Structure 1
């Protein structure tokens, strides 16, 4: 190696000995803090000015379904038959094409066209072709309402697993599918409407465009509940409905946050003479004419940029009643429960996507003479993220299993789902933003640039905590379920108690939770604390029963036993870091 003379401050300027052009690039040996065992080699003056080193390769060509927590839960919850299709979807999700589509769908956002060139009102939304490609894949994979037409046990679990995979690709395009999935139980409250629309809603064909429903091969559904004066307090809605006397009603009013306005059908809440009621509003009427569905604007959102969210206005809009007059909230509540389930699944997907990015980067990036992943503090952070991701995925699939069994008439699972879904919606969605921020930090500055994909994950992270009721709404809903339906707590308790005796920290946490519940003083003020404890005890019980011992023990110690800190990366000494990191499957 040629020698380079480095000038010393204050001394004479020495001459630098540089190699001939044909010789090797000179290097300077710089000692690294911590002793002489690690040396960094940096190019000296005269070397190349731009040479890419110490950067990870592109994260492509892997199977996103190679997630041990997800695969085990899929089998445990009765959908092992879906494994081949899940891996096919996982390979798509880990491919370069899917990543390109996801990026383009978010860079080239939907555009609203209120009028055509002649001044006619059209209220259409144009999307980038990559949005449509993602939709074709996900609808074709049955991630819409397809489980309702599938008689196999585990159909809803299989769908949830698929959503968890596609959610790692791109979250925005799943919004129309989430609502389409959730609309079926509400629609079934009016058998004539279910008979007409359900076969097309459960289709695996993506057929974009505003046409008469009967002229399409597949339909997508949405919902219009909230209004600007009330938000979650839908009983203050001012949209009104009047009976047209021919079996239809006419709506007049304004909705504040209606996503996916390009969908074919919407369930809408409006005030009828008998009280708040639910109505079916098609974008195009059976005779092919446009219904009045005036999109006033698209929302300029923090994240979820690929998906259009809108403010529609109704003015003599044709609608059909769904369920009994005055029972709108009860009619639509099951739809809300299912969309909350998908909020949990979607947050688990966002966590897993961020974790995989962080682990991939740290396996290929070195600093101070070692790979990042091999450095004790980074290993602690990543292992802590693994725990959180695994707990979220395990709970999400357990909730999907409950929904599946409830759809087959299991009242015990229905009661469990009623309470546990609200608990999961609050906690998992609440954990996602901090989780993604920590994973982004593992990439340093590389994670702060758009090309990494991490900023999109970060912008998406708060959405599920807001959608279908913010944290406070869900925490209060847990209290409501406890007060009105004692069977929900009995079902929750039975689930938790299956794991008792295996870990003293879980046992102690369960006893503590029951003591807190016995004190009903200021329940509403304490709602978040109670729901947090509900969630952690449930996650701990599931991991104790189903996860490897090193996962369950670390979770119970860090989350229930007070052995971990508040920030990620504070797992106590003795945690099986290497074993936990193997749960983040290699991406090569």
Structure 2
């Protein structure tokens, strides 16, 4: 059971942020598709997702004649979801080819992630193959457009009969996230290569196109010795490629989608791009996939928050709706603030990715650090938000008839996929060392704050500029520490960078809304978030709690609410 609330119209954040990041033409094109996805998400997609979740895929290794086939058999409900994602909405195609959903150009990443965000509120598992198909097409387009034109065409097709799906097989039993321990070996056979090895956690295991890493003998040690390879499920002469699916993983969440263990037996492969840059090329795929993980976590937070709000409004305890009871308002406000901050940061990061793809060198540098920061913080927070929302529903929240257990299970995965939290924090540290990303990010965010014009938003802008100056100096000091201390401290530093990015994005959004006379509701949200960064607990934000209906629904707050919020907190600004 779940609350049948249209996922777009029930969202107080999405349309406001899109109004800031997209132009009028893009908004006019996207709006009806958002409406349709919002409707589909709570009807046919929701039904198919729940059915597929309790009917996970199974592995059929042999046919009746005893021949090895390694076929993954999905429930028909999974095929319904594929048709919605790949064909009807073109989620894996719209960043690569014009015309998807009638868009005259390739769609902005912002639009793709907005549609995907609505989709994931009903189905998390399939979003992984969709993201990897999208990312595989991106990598092939960047590093092998002419050699892999057919694969790119089929990965970006919206016709199920013609389309392919993609995957990346990187994790190995010995290495995990330490790709330097990759044991799969590539052998040059003249007109192709052959791969020998074992991949331990391969999601979308029956994909038509696999991108993977393998050791190229004589190329170097560690990640320098890795090349990227294209491994099709079917070889050019029509044979099933020489790798086996040994078993499927029995996962805690994301149960609709097949992950498995794979052994490559001299599998046919082709190198992608420069063999000596295989690891760096794969990083392009991983980084985009990390942003998708952050988006999916934001979607889980939104769904969980909406479920909690609707339950609290309908549940009467001691003669009063839970929604109107003070302690519950504290809980719901905390969930709503996290969900709004997460989505705003995800879409702002997607806008930077759009700028980077358009050739903006500064944006290229920014996206390299913004993506791991978003993943690090949003994916971790999704576990808390979904867990709290389950608790709001009480005993029913623990029962599989309701959506909460599925949200909690799924929320634990994004922090692990494409690098666990510690791995991501260490990646942020590499960005600081190599690109001075703390300076680039602080300068970028300060420039955004300098553009804030509303008089009521300017005290927050001044406070945040000072905070960014301190974070920049903290980054400089961090890099003077011994190696071990840098590693120990970078996790908390990454979180502070990310939460301050969220505060900046919320304030920029509030300034945008005020300029368009859309009310001060977003400013109240921005100041509430900022106050928590300044050490004020959520339970002390009495005015924000009183305005909870406006916060969760997107309505107007009472006149003077922002001033009252700051007065009760005794906030002195910068």
**Contact (CA 8 Å) 1:64, 1:93: kept in 2 or not?**
no
**Contact (CA 8 Å) 1:144, 1:177: kept in 2 or not?**
yes
Give a deviation string over 1:355-411, Cα, whole Å, max 9, x none: 110011011110011000011111111111111000000001111111122111122
Q: Is residue 479 from structure 1 mapped to residue 429 from structure 2 by the alignment?
A: yes
Give a deviation string over 1:201-223, Cα, whole Å, max 9, x none: 1112234xxxxxxxxx1111101
**Contact (CA 8 Å) 1:224, 1:266: kept in 2 or not?**
yes
Q: Is residue 243 from structure 1 mapped to residue 172 from structure 2 by the alignment?
A: no
Distance 2:267 2:394 in 1: 52
Q: Is residue 163 from structure 1 mapped to residue 116 from structure 2 by the alignment?
A: yes
Residue 572 of structure 2 aligns with which residue?
Answer: none
Distance 2:172 2:232 in 1: 19
Q: Which has the larger radius of gyration?
A: 1
From 277, 281, 285, the counterpart of 2:227: 277
The alpha-carbon distance between structure 1 residues 410 and 338, as it changes in their structure 2 partners (threshold 3 A), is: same
The alpha-carbon distance between structure 1 residues 487 and 63, as it changes in their structure 2 partners (threshold 3 A), is: closer
Give a deviation string over 1:449-488, Cα, whole Å, max 9, x none: 0111100000111100000001011101111011111367
The alpha-carbon distance between structure 1 residues 410 and 203, as it changes in their structure 2 partners (threshold 3 A), is: same
SS, match of residue 486 in structure 2: coil
Distance 1:204 1:341 in 2: 23
The alpha-carbon distance between structure 1 residues 342 and 496, as it changes in their structure 2 partners (threshold 3 A), is: farther
From 210, 218, 226, the counterpart of 1:266: 210
Give a deviation string over 1:268-313, Cα, whole Å, max 9, x none: 1011122210000000122221111200011111111111101111
Deviation at 1:581, TM superposition (A): 3.2
Q: Is residue 577 from structure 1 mapped to residue 545 from structure 2 by the alignment?
A: yes
From 186, 190, 197, the counterpart of 2:144: 190
TM-score (norm 1): 0.84
Distance 1:577 1:482 in 2: 38
Give a deviation string over 1:107-152, Cα, whole Å, max 9, x none: 0010001111121000110011111101110112121133111363
| Matching of residues 20-35 of structure 1 within 5 Å | none
Distance 2:114 2:443 in 1: 26
Residue 212 of structure 1 aligns with which residue?
Answer: none
Residue 116 of structure 1 aligns with which residue?
Answer: 63
| Matching of residues 122-141 of structure 1 within 5 Å | 122-140=69-87, 141=89
Gap runs ≥5 in structure 1: 1-56, 208-216, 565-569
Q: Is residue 226 from structure 1 mapped to residue 171 from structure 2 by the alignment?
A: yes
| RMSD after superposition | 1.9
Distance 2:534 2:95 in 1: 39
Q: Is residue 561 from structure 1 mapped to residue 561 from structure 2 by the alignment?
A: no
The alpha-carbon distance between structure 1 residues 92 and 578, as it changes in their structure 2 partners (threshold 3 A), is: farther
**Contact (CA 8 Å) 1:154, 1:401: kept in 2 or not?**
no
Give a deviation string over 1:340-359, Cα, whole Å, max 9, x none: 01011000000001011001
Residue 374 of structure 1 aligns with which residue?
Answer: 324
Deviation at 1:507, TM superposition (A): 4.0
Distance 2:463 2:327 in 1: 25
